[in-house]
Structure 1
Amino acid sequence: MSTSREQAEELIEAAGARLSARRAAVRRLIGTPPSERRAQTQALLLEAGRELFADKGIGGTSVGDICSRAGFTRGAFYSNFTDMDHFVQRLAEEQWGSIIAFVDSSVARAMPSDLDGATPESDAELAAGLAELASRLLGAMPISREVFLLQNEFAAYIARTEADAGNSPLREGYAAFKQHLVRVLVEGLASINRTCLLSPEDTTELIMATAVRSMRMALSEEPDGVDADGPDLTAFLVRTLPTLLARLSAPITPTSGI
Structure 2
Amino acid sequence: MSASREQAEELIEAAGARLSARRAAVRRLIGVPPSERRAQTQALLLDAGRELFADKGIGGTSVGDICSRAGFTRGAFYSNFTDMDHFVQRLAEEQWTSIVNFVDESVAGALSTQTEGPTLESDAELAAGLAELASRLLGAMPISREVFLLQNEFAAYIARTEADGGGSPLREGYAAFKRHLVRVLVEGLASINRACLLSPEDTTELIMATAVRSMRMALSAAPDAHRPGDAQAAGTRGAQTDDADANSDRGSESTGANAADPDLTAFLVRTLPTLLARLSTPVTHTADA
In structure 2, the residue matched to 1:239 is 270
In structure 2, the residue matched to 1:141 is 141
TM-score, normalised on structure 2? 0.84
SS of 1:253 mapped into structure 2:
coil
Q: Distance in 2 between matches of 1:12 and 1:162?
A: 29
Amino acid at match of 1:241: L
Amino acid at match of 2:274: T
Q: Distance in 1 between matches of 2:128 and 2:12?
A: 70
Shift of 1:31: 1.2
TM-score, normalised on structure 1? 0.94
In structure 2, the residue matched to 1:251 is 282
Amino acid at match of 1:102: F
| Superposition map of 1:81-230 within 5 A | 81-108=81-108, 110-113=110-113, 117-225=117-225
Task: Give deviations 1:92-144, integer Å, cap 9, x for gaps.
Answer: 00000111111110112541459961211011111110010000100011111
Structure number with the bigger relative contact order (C-alpha 8 A, sep ≥ 6) is 2
- 2:61 aligned with 1:30: no
In structure 1, the residue matched to 2:3 is 3
Moved more, 114-123 or 95-104: 114-123
In structure 1, the residue matched to 2:246 is none
After superposition, the Cα gap between the structure-2 partners of 1:109 and 1:56, relative to the gap in structure 1 and judged at 3 Å, is farther
After superposition, the Cα gap between the structure-2 partners of 1:243 and 1:231, relative to the gap in structure 1 and judged at 3 Å, is closer
Shift of 1:252: 1.1
Identity %: 88
Shift of 1:7: 1.3
Q: Distance in 1 between matches of 2:18 and 2:78?
A: 13
Q: Distance in 1 between matches of 2:287 and 2:160?
A: 51
Shift of 1:225: 2.2
Stretches of structure 1 that go unaligned for 5 or more consecutive residues are: none
SS of 1:243 mapped into structure 2:
helix
Tell me how large the CA RMSD over aligned residues is: 1.8
Stretches of structure 2 that go unaligned for 5 or more consecutive residues are: 227-260
